[in-house]
Amino acid sequence: MLEEDLAILTKTRIIENHMGNGINVLMYDASRRWRDMIPDIITHYSSRWHRLYAECHEKFFSRPWLWIPVLAAFLLLSASILQTFYTIAGYYENT
């Protein structure tokens, strides 16, 4: 399967094979526009925040049954914080 894909990509000149076999291939620099975009793409994906967002999205939000427990945990934590706040506020109101 991989060798068939490589053969198609080589035939359409998307990649260029300089090594003689289908495993070691180099990307074919098709246009100047692509060359100009490569540094921006590398900068985008080497950003710590983009990697963190991608990892968080993959772990918690990629499938619906994964974000439901996150939402439930957030709601429970919010309810606990509100309960603590109103308990403390009620104590100081009475004194």
Q: How far apart are CA 16 and CA 30, in angstroms?
A: 10
**Tens of pLDDT along the chain (95 residues)?**
567 777 777 777 777 666 665 554 445 445 666 677 778 878 877 888 888 888 888 887 788 787 788 899 999 999 999 999 999 988 777 66
Given this model, what pLDDT does residue 78 score? Answer: 97
Handedness of CA 63, 65, 70, 75 (dihedral sign): positive
- Give first-to-last CA distance, the chain, whole Å: 77
Given this model, what pLDDT does residue 74 score? Answer: 95
pTM score: 0.40
Given this model, what pLDDT does residue 72 score? Answer: 93
Note the residue count of the chain. Answer: 95
